[in-house]
A and B are shown apart, each in its own frame.
Chain A
Amino acid sequence: MWDHEIRAMASAHAVIAASVFVATVAPAVFVPGFSVYGAHLLWICSVSGAVTAVSVAVFWLLGVSPPTKKHTLGYKLSRLFRSCLYVLLSCLFFHAVVVLYGAPLIESALETFSLAVLLTCLTTLRCLCVLGPNVQAWIRVFSRHGAMSVWDTCLQITVACTLVGAWVGAFPIPLDWDRPWQVWPVSCSLGAMIGYLTGLVAAPAWIHYHRKQLTYKCK
């Protein structure tokens, strides 16, 4: 039914996944002694930046974002400003949630915040790209009948996968294996990233296989 959109989605996801890969490999070329565990904050920064840039570009090119009513520059600027504000707020929100889940409050605040930034880039940014700066629409999307397009369904799947990945990523932390990836927040950010990549793969596949059952009321 939405073959075209599914194909577009798959290719967009391929591009994003490739950007994640490049963002992981590229610093290794430029920064001596780089490793995902060793220079974890750098990795988070590079991956977050890459995902942000590529998703914004891809979704802008695809034109998924909801059509704006006004086309004045002022309105666009205010939208941009609101988006930035939301990103910042979302970072703080994720930081708070992670701390409430048991992350140290003061000691490794930088690590916690970088995890929050990563989660924001993987989830909130996508919401912004697909739905625009409209919190009510965000809340609406995450309900059984809330998805109004293939992209909304895709958003549901990727966001859920990312958050579940980050949640599962916290499991190995208490174990006494002394591995480098058990250090806070490596396992969580890796979990989130793996969840995100899974979501990128799973969303088009799931939509493809359920395309007969999916019905959207209106676009």
Chain B
Amino acid sequence: FRRGLPVLSLLLWLCAVYFVGIYLFVGGFLLVRLEVNRTSTCGDVLHPGEEPGDFCRAQPRFRRAVVLIIDALKIDFARFDPSNTAPRPYENKLPVLEENVSSKPLQSRLYPFRADPPTTTMQRIKGFTTGSLPTFVDVGNNFASSAILEDNLIHQFGQMGKRVVFMGDDTWESLFPKKFYRSLPFPSFNVKDLHTVDNGILQHLYTTMVGDDWDILVAHFLGVDHCGHRYGPDHPAMADKLTQMDGVIRSVIDRLQNDTLLVVMGDHGMTDTGDHGGESQKETDAALFLYSPSPIFQAPLSQNEPDVVPQTDLVPTLALLLGTPIPYSSVGQVLLPLFSPHQQTEGAVGGLSQLEALWINAKQVNRFLETYSSMAKDIPPESLSQLKEEFARLSAEYFTSVKEGRSPSPHLASSLQAYLTSVRDTCRATWARFNPLKMAAGLAILASACLMCFVMSELSLLLLRENASGLKAPVAVALTVGVCAGAAQLLTRGYIEAAWCLAACAFGSEIPFFWRACRLKTPAVSKNGAKPLKLSRWLTPRHLLVPPLVVPLLRCASLLSDSYVIAEGRVVTFLVLSLVLYIPIHLNWNDLLLPQSLDPLKSAGLLPSPILSPSTVRKESNTLLACFGVLIGIMYLSLSFHGCREEQGFCQPSPFLSPLSRLQDSQVKNLYYILSVISLGICTYLLRHCLCHYGNLNSSSGTVFTAHWILPLLSVCLALHWAVSATPEDSFRKLAELIRMAQLALPRAAFCLLGLGLGLIWLDPVTVFVKSRTSASSRSSALPLPRYRASTGISPQAELRHLIPQIYQRMRRSLDPGELSGGTEADNRPTVEAYGLGTVYSAPVLLFCGMLGIGLLLLHPEGMALSFLLLLLEMGALLHIHASSTTLSGMHGAQSGDFNVPWTTVVVWSLAVTQFFHATGHLPTFPSIQWGAAFVGFPDGHTGTILPALLVTLNTFASHILFAVSCPLLLFWPLVRGSRSGEEGEDAVMEMRLRENPQQFSSALLQLSTRYLFILGAQVFSSVCAAAILRRHLMVWKVFAPKLMFEALGFLVSSTSLLIGVTLVLRVDMAVGRWFKRLIPDASR
């Protein structure tokens, strides 16, 4: 095992560096906020002062309100400049606002209305109803649905018995399901459609207003926003749209009654190109227009008017004006000009004074802050304690002034305002701001990790040859640098942020590695002389334009475009197909695909004489082309298992994606069931057949037991489970109890079997069956050397085909080179026959992977069995293509002991991961996560969160796991298959060649893993780049950020599985070594 340790530790270190990079970036990019699921009630908003009366029963300032939301109503659209004689299409189109503000200064006001990023409509609706600062990930109870669970205005209105009527953008309907008294949603999806939503609203708006069955009327117009997306603001269509809105506001004002407040607002602005989502001022500054038929403002435009109204401030203002409690999580501050500066006389209609409003507001914000800081620790403690002290001081001051009955000082009001502002700023700093420094550090670490991967894969042999202790220096440096960084933070800031220490560690460990790599390169060149690793030579277009490099580049580039991410499944299939197509074309280009003898003109001596005989070449190329045909067939079929994103308009999700229990037609159900079971059976049969073919089913080890009994049993369990879960609930009433039990027991039994099987494979992986032939030895003693056979089957034909002569001597040499004593001893040795020795490495890996595949299938809908069969077949076809092309290009024939896996194969293998991620019905979006997987075997739900999260992760990243675990097969398969072509006995040693060259073996393993990690890491890096560069893109929260999370999680799962696969191989290696040690004393006796 000592041999494997450097490989494993290098890989671990590499993965750790990647993880640190991802962690840093995600920490700076994805802002996480906990949702506080408490609601305010009338009881807890006590009027300050003596009277303990119910807050809600007091007469509010307004009874009703009309809220017109004009999506993307930028402040520039709302301003009116009479001196502007040549207005642009979006200027001076809403004169109604200016007219009202100038003619009725006590009734109306226009403010710039600043939204918080992300300026997307859904986040904004959340923002101005909850009064909070929504982030991308609002961790709440309902990850699956989008409904707002936090306390919000709509909920409070409902609590108060106000009838909320809604019309417009159907996003509201999904955010506030069943909260509206009446709701007229219109589809918001089609950005090209400027008029459907607006016209739909206008059909109902005025009739509703005239009627009397509403208290709050919310109308959300989408036309302006869609016009911006489609044409941009500087277009005549925008002028038409704004003019229409002008008319709407006029008509609404005409129909207002005295007790009604009108709010006209934009939820966000837009850039000059009409997009939004980011944080530039053009996107954040919308317009807010307040109007009431009766005077509400105390003074006409006094000097202490706010310049800009933050969007959160609308929430407490509206709540207090309409007499409802402020939503629990609001961090807004009341708009003072709307409240009277002095204490009102009792009973007067007018509601609260400025100070009272501020006080209620401050109390609510303080309560929220206390609750939040007890739940989450992301607000810096020092600012938190400062805020608490401030509130304590202010409340003491307020109470004394109320008790003494004197009019409070204006100073108190401004202090309260300052307190509220600082709370909001603290929260915003915690939740609503990217951390560019962290993002940049994460990017840098990821980039250097990718580079490190590449360097390691190129220098794998040298690295392993020279360093037994090579990792000590990086680890030591990393620890020192990490501790130093921690200490520096402690000194300068007083507390330690773990992320930065980790970053320092990662950077620190990379430096000694690169330094060593640079030094390693020089002797390599001088020693071989043949392969100078010069960068300038690599950068010629001839080297850069080879498909194995172009395809991953295209793949990475495609992650930067939202359209390509949306169409990812097809894009990846296209790329994989192109790269697979390149393999035979490339072989043909090098004259390797067809036997040379076919072309008599060719044997003129220009080419080196062919290494392989023509019949071998013909056989191999036939295999290759047949597998190729199978492969492209599989790829085409795999396209029919895709799910659909909501952005893909005319897409029908695959019928195999829905569980059988949802199907109505029993005939279709039976058909699907039979199909699934057949493909499950084929999977199982193929696995066993493959093992049997290479003679790995003869011994009595744990692995063989697994293949013989546990694998079929697992399949039977799975098939029964499907049958049980597909039965309709009401068809077998008598058996209901039994069915329920089976639903519980069968999957659990399958889990247990899976665990047992995998454990057995792990514990006893050697599948070699030894047959000592003492009787035969007398016959064969005449031979000069003892014979040692690694047969693959019991049948004599198989023996002949896979005869391994003379391997014993080599084995001895590799095990203990000193002890090689010569021929005298050798004559007495019995001939030993070992079945399945040639595939001793690949058999356990194959079985492990197969078992895992069937186990993961358990977590998927039944129809996915077909897709898993395709996955298995594609793996097999790829392995065969790889083996054939390796044989054809003579890589293993020419120089023994060079087990490199070429880039092309690794790239195809790693892209197939994404292909089957989609072909197993997954999509990189949150709504498409298959939550059903969490309830397989646990139909009544869970108590904890770890187990369901694990099950869902296993379900989502099934293809990542399978491809990563089976990655080492790429190394073994050419050896397994190579033996068949080599009739001359020298070549027929199959995987035993790996034991002959242990150095090359571990270096090839390291190279393969690092190449695989490199391709995956490059994909993560480019999706990270996409998120960083396009963080203001319209689609960032819909496309790029989910894609980043899926890619990062996928990398995590992939690298873990890869480590498991590599460890399994090393475990097998160790077991084989032990097996030989046991055998040799036996044999030499």
Assess whether B598 is interfacial by the CB under 8 Å rule: yes
Q: Are A99 and B566 in contact (CB under 8 A)?
A: no
B601 contacts which of A139, A167, A176, A217 (Cβ < 8 Å)? A217
Chain B residues, Cβ within 8 Å of A101:
574, 577
* A residues 118-144 touching B (CB-CB < 8 Å): 136, 139-140, 142-144
Q: Are A144 and B591 in contact (CB under 8 A)?
A: yes
Chain A residues, Cβ within 8 Å of B889:
none
Assess whether A146 is interfacial by the CB under 8 Å rule: yes
* B residues 596-618 touching A (CB-CB < 8 Å): 598-599, 601-602, 604, 606-607
A100 in contact with B577 given A174-B570, A175-B561 (CB within 8 Å): yes
Assess whether B84 is interfacial by the CB under 8 Å rule: no
Binary flags per residue of A180-219, CB closer than 8 Å to B gives 1, else 0 = 0000000000000000000000000000000000000110
Q: Are B632 and A100 in contact (CB under 8 A)?
A: yes
**B interface, by DSSP: helix, strand, loop or mixed?**
helix
Assess whether B578 is interfacial by the CB under 8 Å rule: yes
Chain A residues, Cβ within 8 Å of B571:
174
Assess whether B280 is interfacial by the CB under 8 Å rule: no
Binary flags per residue of B539-563, CB closer than 8 Å to A gives 1, else 0 = 0000000000000000000000111
Q: Are A218 and B601 in contact (CB under 8 A)?
A: yes
**CB-nearest residue of chain B to A173:** B567
Chain A residues, Cβ within 8 Å of B574:
101-102, 170
* Shortest distance between the CB of B1044 and any CB in chain A (Å): 20
**Alpha-carbon distance A174/B602, docked complex (angstroms):** 45
**CB-nearest residue of chain A to B606:** A145
Assess whether B590 is interfacial by the CB under 8 Å rule: yes
A174 in contact with B564 given A100-B632, A136-B598, A140-B599 (CB within 8 Å): yes
Q: Are A217 and B635 in contact (CB under 8 A)?
A: no
Chain A residues, Cβ within 8 Å of B607:
145
Binary flags per residue of A150-175, CB closer than 8 Å to B gives 1, else 0 = 00000000000000000100100011
A102 in contact with B591 given A136-B598, A142-B585, A145-B607 (CB within 8 Å): no
Q: Are B563 and A176 in contact (CB under 8 A)?
A: yes
Q: Are A99 and B570 in contact (CB under 8 A)?
A: no
Chain B residues, Cβ within 8 Å of A170:
574
**CB-nearest residue of chain B to A177:** B563
Chain A residues, Cβ within 8 Å of B639:
102
Q: Are B563 and A100 in contact (CB under 8 A)?
A: no
* Shortest distance between the CB of B936 and any CB in chain A (Å): 33
**Alpha-carbon distance A4/B590, docked complex (angstroms):** 30
Chain A residues, Cβ within 8 Å of B570:
102, 174
* Shortest distance between the CB of B575 and any CB in chain A (Å): 10
Binary flags per residue of A72-116, CB closer than 8 Å to B gives 1, else 0 = 000000000000000000000000000111100000000000000
> What total of A-B pairs shows CB separation below 8 Å?
49
**Alpha-carbon distance A99/B635, docked complex (angstroms):** 11
* Shortest distance between the CB of B584 and any CB in chain A (Å): 10
Q: Are B601 and A102 in contact (CB under 8 A)?
A: no
**Alpha-carbon distance A143/B567, docked complex (angstroms):** 35
Assess whether B797 is interfacial by the CB under 8 Å rule: no
Q: Are A102 and B573 in contact (CB under 8 A)?
A: yes
**Alpha-carbon distance A136/B598, docked complex (angstroms):** 9
Assess whether B174 is interfacial by the CB under 8 Å rule: no
Q: Are B589 and A143 in contact (CB under 8 A)?
A: yes
Assess whether B206 is interfacial by the CB under 8 Å rule: no
**Alpha-carbon distance A175/B561, docked complex (angstroms):** 8
Q: Are A146 and B632 in contact (CB under 8 A)?
A: no
**Alpha-carbon distance A175/B636, docked complex (angstroms):** 22
**Alpha-carbon distance A140/B591, docked complex (angstroms):** 8
**Interface size grouping (class) on chain A:** 20 to 34
Chain B residues, Cβ within 8 Å of A100:
577, 632, 635-636
**CB-nearest residue of chain A to B607:** A145
B567 contacts which of A144, A145, A174 (Cβ < 8 Å)? A174
**CB-nearest residue of chain A to B602:** A145
Assess whether B657 is interfacial by the CB under 8 Å rule: no
Chain A residues, Cβ within 8 Å of B666:
none
* Shortest distance between the CB of B777 and any CB in chain A (Å): 51
Chain A residues, Cβ within 8 Å of B601:
148, 217-218
**Alpha-carbon distance A197/B606, docked complex (angstroms):** 34
* Shortest distance between the CB of A162 and any CB in chain B (Å): 14
Q: Are A144 and B604 in contact (CB under 8 A)?
A: no
* Shortest distance between the CB of A82 and any CB in chain B (Å): 20
Q: Are A174 and B577 in contact (CB under 8 A)?
A: no
Chain B residues, Cβ within 8 Å of A143:
588-591
* Shortest distance between the CB of B65 and any CB in chain A (Å): 39
**Alpha-carbon distance A6/B578, docked complex (angstroms):** 33
Q: Are B588 and A139 in contact (CB under 8 A)?
A: yes
Residue of A99, A142, A143, A218 ringed by the most chain B CB atoms within 10 A: A143
**Alpha-carbon distance A188/B570, docked complex (angstroms):** 16
**Alpha-carbon distance A143/B594, docked complex (angstroms):** 10
**Alpha-carbon distance A145/B601, docked complex (angstroms):** 11
Q: Are B590 and A99 in contact (CB under 8 A)?
A: no
Chain A residues, Cβ within 8 Å of B590:
143-144
Q: Are A144 and B589 in contact (CB under 8 A)?
A: yes
**Alpha-carbon distance A176/B1033, docked complex (angstroms):** 14
**CB-nearest residue of chain A to B599:** A140
A145 in contact with B573 given A175-B561, A217-B601, A217-B606 (CB within 8 Å): no
**Alpha-carbon distance A176/B591, docked complex (angstroms):** 42
Chain B residues, Cβ within 8 Å of A144:
589-591
Residue of B574, B578, B606 ringed by the most chain A CB atoms within 10 A: B574
Chain B residues, Cβ within 8 Å of A136:
598
Q: Are B594 and A139 in contact (CB under 8 A)?
A: yes
**Alpha-carbon distance A182/B781, docked complex (angstroms):** 76
**Alpha-carbon distance A73/B771, docked complex (angstroms):** 70
Q: Are A175 and B578 in contact (CB under 8 A)?
A: no
**Alpha-carbon distance A100/B633, docked complex (angstroms):** 8
**Alpha-carbon distance A167/B571, docked complex (angstroms):** 12
**CB-nearest residue of chain B to A137:** B599
Q: Are A217 and B604 in contact (CB under 8 A)?
A: yes
A167 in contact with B578 given A144-B591, A174-B570 (CB within 8 Å): yes
* Shortest distance between the CB of B540 and any CB in chain A (Å): 16
* B residues 708-741 touching A (CB-CB < 8 Å): none
**Alpha-carbon distance A144/B589, docked complex (angstroms):** 5
Chain B residues, Cβ within 8 Å of A146:
591
**Alpha-carbon distance A139/B595, docked complex (angstroms):** 12
**Alpha-carbon distance A218/B598, docked complex (angstroms):** 17
**CB-nearest residue of chain B to A142:** B588
**CB-nearest residue of chain B to A171:** B554
Chain B residues, Cβ within 8 Å of A174:
563-564, 566-567, 570-571
**CB-nearest residue of chain A to B640:** A105
Chain A residues, Cβ within 8 Å of B566:
174
**Alpha-carbon distance A39/B589, docked complex (angstroms):** 38
**Alpha-carbon distance A49/B143, docked complex (angstroms):** 59
* Shortest distance between the CB of A93 and any CB in chain B (Å): 13
* Shortest distance between the CB of A109 and any CB in chain B (Å): 15
Chain A residues, Cβ within 8 Å of B578:
167
**Alpha-carbon distance A144/B599, docked complex (angstroms):** 14
**Alpha-carbon distance A132/B307, docked complex (angstroms):** 82
**Alpha-carbon distance A44/B588, docked complex (angstroms):** 31
Chain A residues, Cβ within 8 Å of B588:
139, 142-143
* Shortest distance between the CB of B337 and any CB in chain A (Å): 45
**CB-nearest residue of chain B to A102:** B570
**Alpha-carbon distance A146/B566, docked complex (angstroms):** 42
**Alpha-carbon distance A99/B591, docked complex (angstroms):** 29
* Shortest distance between the CB of B277 and any CB in chain A (Å): 16
Q: Are B563 and A175 in contact (CB under 8 A)?
A: yes
**Alpha-carbon distance A140/B636, docked complex (angstroms):** 29
Instruction: Beyond the given A136-B598, A139-B594, A217-B606, please list 9 additional residue pairs across the A-B interface where CB-CB is below 8 A.
Output: A101-B577, A142-B589, A143-B591, A145-B606, A167-B578, A170-B574, A174-B571, A175-B563, A176-B563
Which 4 A-B pairs rank lowest in CB-CB distance, beginning with the nearest? A174-B567, A175-B563, A143-B591, A174-B563
A contact set with B: CB distance below 8 Å: 99-102, 136, 139-140, 142-146, 148, 167, 170, 174-176, 217-218
Q: What are 9 A-B contacts with C-beta separation under 8 Å? A: A100-B577, A100-B632, A100-B636, A101-B577, A139-B594, A143-B588, A144-B589, A174-B564, A174-B571
